[in-house]
Amino acid sequence: LFGLMKPSTGASPALWWAAQAFKINIFPESKIIAQIGDSISLACSTTDCESPSFSWRTQIDSPLNGKVRNEGTESTLTINPVSVGNEHYYLCTVICESQKLEEGIPVEIYSFPKDPEIHVSGSLEVGKPVTVTCLVPAVYPFEKLEIELLKGNRSVKTQNFLEPSEMKYQETKSLEVTFTPVYEDIGKALVCQATVHINEIDSQPQVRGTTKKLQVYVSPKDTVISVNPSTSPQEADSMTMTCTSEDNRNLQLLSENATLTLIAMKMEDSGIYVCEGVNLVGKDRKEVKLIVQEKMFTVEISPGSQIAAQIGNSVVLTCDVMCCESPSFSWRTHIDSPLNGKVRSKGSKSTLILSPVRFENKHFYLCTVTCGHKKLEKVIQVLLQKIYNLTAFPSENVKEGDTVIISCTCGNVLQTLIILKKKAESGYIVPKSTYGAYTIHRAQLEDAGVYECESKNEIGFQLTSITLDVKGRESNKDYFSPELLMLYCASSLIIPAIGMIIYFARKANMKGSYSLVEARKSKV
């Protein structure tokens, strides 16, 4: 135990068993204070004795738990390592012939091997109580221990362990403090300071301390998602979303991936995006709805909504797209018939070339443009310049006995075949015609019917018809008023092949004949 005193037999510091004739010295001269695990040596020497005999023992004759080495006039007791069982008053006994001397020295033991430990019951959150424990492990003797907890420079609590124990063993002691963190605690430090007062008079106290910086958290709040440029971008646009939250009174990015960048957005990028600020004490959630708008693009078709083409010529239809980086094109007719043309598409433009223009090219042509998920369609009508001029002069109805000239003429390319024919019950009758003109002198009832004009060449085929109606003449009328019926087929293709001027004659009651122009001038 601490404070053991050397036994005494009066005023003399040594025990005498015979008349004093030699001296004994012990080192160290005062008590030894050793920590468990250390190594100590006690030395005992004599003077004025040539052959001394040494022995060591404890005051209570307990085991030495050490090694003794005698050499001449000196004896050494070494204890390694020191344990709680080595806390005794050690006596060195020296016998010199018939004389015996004994000298003693106390050994005090303590244990204070580690710095204190600071344990917190949980994460420190502003406004929520937390328990802080300061542990001092393997301390001995604990009745001489003092623990103090400081927050910053202010002492929070101090505790002394004054109850002595009869048992000699190392024990872990602790100090607990419960407090509620505030904003002002952010950045401060907790200090656990432990002091073992070995001997208040002869020794300096043993002091150890541990510092722990306070990590005071604030549950994330006021989480905000910033979207640039807007929450309604268009396809192919880029945008950036940044998530911030208020934490510890500072606006900060919640993590390295708190910024999300979308490049060349698509429709499927639309949706609800969630940002959740999370730290050790809580979380805060924010949502934003992103709607990717279809890219607004325009389509123009040229040369216009319709074009009049000549048979045999070339026509180019063009489809232009604006505000679409990668359009796709398709051409078709309104009845899905063959295009009979060549399509060329490059970049934002597509052309349909009709060369040469044929009869079957007379259609509505549709250009369909696809940009992303959206489609636009434009229509252009290809018209063929009128090649049939179907007229009746002066009427389609003639009387019996009139002279009728049915004429089928076509301004056409070379090698155009013109056929004039009349429908009959057995098929067709091809009347004898000259350059597509068929003259009926004194029309009869059987001349009535359907007459057809057919035009053919390598470009294509065309057919037109007219119905001739012949009426019977009244018997009391002896004059003849011939009528003229003309079927004029003007197929305007590339180069007029036949230039024909036809004069229609009108017979009067007088002799002779007149041109159509002259006939109109007469009063007949």
pLDDT at 386 (0 to 100): 56
pLDDT at 524 (0 to 100): 28
Structural domain total, the chain = 5
Residue carrying the six token digits 């003429």: 409
Are residues 204 and 280 both part of a single domain?
no
Domain range for 368: 298-384
- Strand arrangement, sheet containing 206-213: 154-160, 145-151, 189-196, 206-213
Query: Last residue of some domain: 290, 312, 331?
Result: 290
3 state DSSP class of 144: helix
The CATH number of residue 273's host domain is 2.60.40
pLDDT at 458 (0 to 100): 66
Query: Last residue of some domain: 358, 384, 410?
Result: 384
pLDDT at 391 (0 to 100): 44
Are residues 315 and 367 both part of a single domain?
yes
Q: Compute φ and ψ for 39, nearest 5 degrees.
A: -120, 135
| 458 is a domain residue | yes
| 479 is a domain residue | yes
| 4 is a domain residue | no
CA dihedral of residues 45, 50, 55, 58 (deg, nearest 10): -40
| 7 is a domain residue | no
Q: Compute φ and ψ for 197, nearest 5 degrees.
A: -90, 95
Are residues 397 and 514 both part of a single domain?
yes
Are residues 210 and 104 both part of a single domain?
no
The CATH number of residue 355's host domain is 2.60.40.10
- Whole-number Å distance between alpha carbons of 259 and 420: 82
- Helix (H) / strand (E) element for 519: namely helix 516-521
Q: pLDDT of 220-244, one tens digit each?
A: 888 889 999 999 998 888 999 998 8
Are residues 405 and 494 both part of a single domain?
yes
* Residue 305 DSSP class: S
Question: How far apart, in Å, are the Cα atoms of 42 and each of 35, 36, 37, 56, 377?
Answer: 15, 16, 16, 10, 110
**Percent of all residues in the chain with a pLDDT value above 70, rounded to a whole number:** 78
Residue carrying the six token digits 């419960």: 178
Average pLDDT, the chain: 79
Strand 306-309, strand 374-384: pairing = parallel
Are residues 343 and 407 both part of a single domain?
no
| 38 is a domain residue | yes
Are residues 178 and 145 both part of a single domain?
yes
Higher pLDDT, 259 or 94: 94
| 10 is a domain residue | no
Is the confidence at residue 518, as pLDDT, over 90? no
Please list the residues that pair with 440 across neighbouring strands.
404
Q: pLDDT of 410-442, one tens digit each?
A: 654 445 677 777 888 888 888 877 766 778 888
Are residues 312 and 345 both part of a single domain?
yes
Are residues 134 and 38 both part of a single domain?
no
Helix (H), strand (E), coil (C) string for 450-509: EEEEEEEECCEEEEEEEEEEEECCCCCCCCCCCCCCCEECCCCCCCCCCCCCCCCCEECC
Query: Last residue of some domain: 65, 86, 110?
Result: 110
Higher pLDDT, 165 or 285: 285
- Helix (H) / strand (E) element for 516: namely helix 516-521
Is the confidence at residue 17, as pLDDT, over 70? no
- Count CB neighbours of 150 within 10 A: 18
| 6 is a domain residue | no
- Helix (H) / strand (E) element for 307: namely strand 306-309
Q: pLDDT of 115-127, one tens digit each?
A: 999 999 988 888 8
| Cα 20-25-29 angle, rounded to 5 deg | 135
